[in-house]
Structure 1
Amino acid sequence: MEETSLRVPVEVTKVDNKYHFVFNKHINKLKKISLFESKDQEHKEIITSELDQFDVEIDNEIIHPLFFVEVESQQYIVGERTLPVEGMNNFRDMGGYETYDGRTVKWKLLYRSDHIHNASLKGLEYLKALNIKTIIDYRSEDERGKYPNKVIDVNIKTYCLDPDAHTAELAAQFTSDKANEDENLVKKIISQKEKGVLVNRYDIVMEQYKNFVNKEECKKAFSKMIKVIAEENSAPVDQHCRGGKDRTGYGCMLLLGLLGVKKEYIIYDYMLTHSNRVKRNAVKMEKYKKFTNDQVVLDYLYSLIDTQPEFIDASYDAIMSEHGSFENYAKDVLGITDEEISNLKQHYLE
């Protein structure tokens, strides 16, 4: 994703058994990469290079390794952001993002994902190795019943926090029988078009993102999320919905905003869902085409699974314009205390 890659100094992705490093085009100096263990321990240097892209090979048995990067006076801790959890397509680490006061989010503590229903046995083994202690599940009771999460570890504490933010269109899909949900959604959109009540295809998504900020059920769910994550020993935490896009996207924006993460990184993090879901969205559209060839309806359906910066912007701007800051919104609307905000920053920033 060229439009987002320039917003982070280093991107790391795993290709086969190698880690591929891509540096921001403005970083054209000598780079030294070391395997990261802790700031207080000597780092094991792996490679020194002047290239902007190169591969690093390490012990393939290391789960989610972190790397210590030195570029003259600049130092970064980096790692693979979208993790290779077999069966899942959108499991991510939110570490490494920079805050307005110059700190960064710690790695391996805050995860976001699609639902765990699709994880394979190998995927579950990978997740277990991450030592997750808490799961926040934003899905509705209907969704959880149709697509129950597979068990990573019986000791993990799960909080079911349904914000009930679905538009009528998405509700028609999620409350349908598992075998008929796609067909029922298509029928609802066709019916709205025939009645002349089909609104602009992106307006319905924008409405949902504004609901996240002001709807009572949403405020209750996301308030609880912050309080849980602020508790000592709750991390590592994974928050997820079904696809890891809307409800999870808003929850992660709210959390990162409270930590003081720069807006450009919040948008970057949100938009990673776009690239992670390209194949999944293509499969979904092929299913919809079994029920209609009307391009207007198909475009509308795609808007419901698409990821655009304007969506998360709608939530971000609503908070900032109405409350001036994420902290004001959290305290005045969600009932979050100064102590809880302080705990978040203490636990998750370095």
Structure 2
Amino acid sequence: MSISGVELIPVPGVRNFRDAGDLPTTSGAQLASGLLYRSGSLHEITEDGTRHLAELGLRTVIDLRSQPELDVWPDRALGADVAVLHLPTFPPREATAEEIAAERDNEERDAEAGRESLEGLYAFMAETAGPAIARSLSALARPGALPALLHCAVGKDRTGITVATLQSALGVSDAEILDHYFVSNSALGLDQGPVLYVDEFGVERRSRAISRDLLSAFFARMRERHGEARAYVRAHGVTDAELAALEAAFLLTP
């Protein structure tokens, strides 16, 4: 199925699966397809879904979820040839019984990270997710790491900012990035309204639709502090050699 020109890839048991490439850059190069995929978690992937991923030749899976999420919903194994890296976007969070009880009465909590609003979440991510994003990019730059899959719970917020930062660092325009990011709404059914779910602490939450303004706000905060995406990831540990490796892997020149 295609949404706004972006092809969703049907993988049984996995939500929001799509290629993170096949996008033009401002330099005239093209971001290659078939090297990086994005999705929701793999804890419900079926045998057919596992075979489908094997056909894509995956070498690496990067899981951005927290340890409590992995404890409750561990990904199903894809085979010995696939390296699995746990690189959580957020610092560890210990929830007390009192906090969990209070959260049950707060339906405005965010779908993935427990911030009071999606606006708060994206500001929080711009301030704190830099080291995790940098670790993901460094992992993708390793020899033999590609093709790779990067995912969080539903492939919307944490996956969205990580993929968007990589795309921006490789020269994709904001307009192209925002269109690709926005596909998650239709892919997850959030264009029809909030979706209720129970989180890893047993708290009922609402997964709400994203807007282009959210990712734009993330970029604005990032650029306010660092100027642009390449400087942002360098500041958090990505080396020039790793950026060069990513360019060599992903950029197709005319």
TM over 0.5: yes
The answer to whether the 8 Å contact 1:281/1:305 transfers is: no
Q: Which residue does 1:205 correspond to in 2?
A: 118
**Distance of aligned partners of 1:343 and 1:136 in 2 relative to their CA distance in 1, 3 Å threshold:** same
* One-letter amino acid of the structure 2 residue matched with residue 342 of structure 1: A
Cα distance in 2 for residues equivalent to 1:283 and 1:338: 41
Q: Deviations over 1:21-65 (max 9, x none)?
A: xxxxxxxxxxxxxxxxxxxxxxxxxxxxxxxxxxxxxxxxxxxxx
Is residue 75 of structure 2 the alignment partner of residue 188 of structure 1? Answer: no
Three-state SS of the structure 2 residue aligned to 1:330 is helix
Is residue 253 of structure 2 the alignment partner of residue 346 of structure 1? Answer: no
Is residue 120 of structure 2 the alignment partner of residue 222 of structure 1? Answer: no
* One-letter amino acid of the structure 2 residue matched with residue 309 of structure 1: R
Cα distance in 2 for residues equivalent to 1:96 and 1:249: 16
Q: Which residue does 1:143 correspond to in 2?
A: 69
* One-letter amino acid of the structure 1 residue matched with residue 209 of structure 2: D
The alpha carbon displacement at 1:213 in A equals: 2.3
The alpha carbon displacement at 1:279 in A equals: 6.8
Q: Determine which of 107, 111, 122 is the counterpart of 2:37.
A: 111
Q: Which residue does 1:294 correspond to in 2?
A: none
Is residue 76 of structure 2 the alignment partner of residue 153 of structure 1? Answer: no
Q: Which residue does 2:201 correspond to in 1?
A: none
* One-letter amino acid of the structure 1 residue matched with residue 28 of structure 2: G
Q: Determine which of 211, 223, 228 is the counterpart of 1:320.
A: 223
Q: Determine which of 155, 159, 162 is the counterpart of 1:248.
A: 159
The answer to whether the 8 Å contact 1:205/1:311 transfers is: yes
Q: Which residue does 2:18 correspond to in 1?
A: 92
Three-state SS of the structure 1 residue aligned to 2:139 is helix
The alpha carbon displacement at 1:153 in A equals: 1.7
The answer to whether the 8 Å contact 2:190/2:209 transfers is: no
The alpha carbon displacement at 1:163 in A equals: 2.1
Q: Which residue does 1:267 correspond to in 2?
A: 178
The answer to whether the 8 Å contact 2:62/2:87 transfers is: yes
* Greater CA drift, 87-96 or 103-112: 87-96
Cα distance in 2 for residues equivalent to 1:319 and 1:245: 19
The alpha carbon displacement at 1:203 in A equals: 6.4
Alignment of 1:4-15 (within 5 A): 5=4, 11=5
Cα distance in 1 for residues equivalent to 2:137 and 2:87: 11
The answer to whether the 8 Å contact 2:13/2:49 transfers is: yes
Cα distance in 1 for residues equivalent to 2:121 and 2:63: 18
The answer to whether the 8 Å contact 1:85/1:123 transfers is: yes
Unaligned segments of structure 2, at least 5 residues: 110-114, 199-203
**Distance of aligned partners of 1:153 and 1:134 in 2 relative to their CA distance in 1, 3 Å threshold:** same
**Distance of aligned partners of 1:223 and 1:283 in 2 relative to their CA distance in 1, 3 Å threshold:** closer
* One-letter amino acid of the structure 2 residue matched with residue 95 of structure 1: G
The alpha carbon displacement at 1:325 in A equals: 1.4
The answer to whether the 8 Å contact 2:131/2:237 transfers is: no
- Aligned length in residues: 240
Alignment of 1:7-46 (within 5 A): 11=5
* One-letter amino acid of the structure 2 residue matched with residue 126 of structure 1: H
| TM-score, normalised relative to structure 1 | 0.62
Cα distance in 2 for residues equivalent to 1:247 and 1:335: 19
Unaligned segments of structure 1, at least 5 residues: 6-10, 13-80, 194-201, 289-297
Three-state SS of the structure 2 residue aligned to 1:111 is strand
Higher relative contact order (CA 8 A, sep 6+): 2
Cα distance in 1 for residues equivalent to 2:190 and 2:117: 24
Three-state SS of the structure 1 residue aligned to 2:30 is coil
Q: Which residue does 2:54 correspond to in 1?
A: 128
TM-align CA RMSD: 3.1
Q: Deviations over 1:134-161 (max 9, x none)?
A: 0110111110111111112222111101
Cα distance in 1 for residues equivalent to 2:102 and 2:12: 28
**Distance of aligned partners of 1:337 and 1:279 in 2 relative to their CA distance in 1, 3 Å threshold:** closer
* One-letter amino acid of the structure 1 residue matched with residue 154 of structure 2: G
Q: Which residue does 1:28 correspond to in 2?
A: none
The alpha carbon displacement at 1:186 in A equals: 6.1
